[in-house]
Amino acid sequence: MVEIPKEYKDGFKYFLGTKIDLSKKPLIPRIETEFWVKQAIEEISKKQSHCLDLFSGSGCVGVAVLKNTDSYCDFGELNEDFLEQIEINTNLSAINSLRYSILKTNIFSGISKKYDYILANPPYIAESRIKDVGLDVLAFEPKMALFSGVDGMSVIRIFLNDAKKYLNKKGVIYMEFDPQQKFEIDGLLKNNKYSNWDFSCDQFGLIRFVRIVL
């Protein structure tokens, strides 16, 4: 019998020191995500910026930005339950409502302005690798937040093709992905003529995220 993850039993998880409610069963925040979000926050905190936490889920990324910087951060999410989850977590952290908006959006469908930073943790697991995914993850976590086509790149392709339209000049993207996707992501960035980008490893030495400049 597959046991429900501890984080769902507890009803919360801490993310960069901030308590994140999980009562609506969004994707459980990962420590690999904490690793790159901490780096993003160090950069964002240097000046007041407008940020977008896209594929927001629990809202952990945006809440961490709002708690640790003076910037503004909108949340972009498609799932109705998770839109409520984000509201729960902004309230839990006593975030001033003037500093954020919660937007229902399918990738960029509900976005109408430009940002200095887009922080993206899209679904990126390849359906062809489903056997590599833990049984507890498959049983309890939202599949829409995990899987993205046979090769895991379906959402990432659309995101990178469209993101330039939603960035201010010299805007920056931080995006998480599967280490096996580096080569194709590099090609997409070249084809879309981004200025420059750097791939970085997570705390386990795996290439896990990219910083992209418009």
Instruction: Say whether pLDDT at 89 is over 90.
Output: yes
- With pLDDT > 70 as the criterion, what percentage of the chain qualifies? 100
What is the DSSP pairing of strand 115-120 with strand 167-176? parallel
Q: What pLDDT is recorded for position 190?
A: 97
Instruction: Find the length of the chain.
Output: 214
Give CA 4 to chain center in angstroms.
23
Instruction: Say whether pLDDT at 131 is over 90.
Output: no
Instruction: Say whether pLDDT at 20 is over 90.
Output: yes
Segments making up each domain of the chain, as ranges: 6-213
- With pLDDT > 90 as the criterion, what percentage of the chain qualifies? 96
Position 71 confidence tier, pLDDT thresholds 50, 70, 90:
very high
Q: Cα 198–128–203 angle (5° rounding)?
A: 35
Say which CATH topology domain 6-213 has. Rossmann fold (3.40.50)
- Average pLDDT value for residue range 49-54: 98
Position 132 confidence tier, pLDDT thresholds 50, 70, 90:
confident
- Average pLDDT value for residue range 6-26: 98
pLDDT in tens, 135-161: 999 999 999 999 999 999 999 999 999
Mean pLDDT of the chain: 97
pLDDT in tens, 94-112: 999 999 999 999 999 999 9
Instruction: Say whether pLDDT at 58 is over 90.
Output: yes
Residue 72 in contact with residue 50, Cβ under 8 Å? yes
Q: What is the pTM of this model?
A: 0.97
Position 70 confidence tier, pLDDT thresholds 50, 70, 90:
very high
Please, which contacts does 131-138 make with residues 24 or more away whose CB atoms are closer than 8 Å? 135/2, 136/2, 136/3, 136/4, 136/5, 137/5
Residue 61 in contact with residue 119, Cβ under 8 Å? yes
Instruction: Say whether pLDDT at 1 is over 90.
Output: no
- Average pLDDT value for residue range 15-23: 98
Instruction: Say whether pLDDT at 63 is over 90.
Output: yes
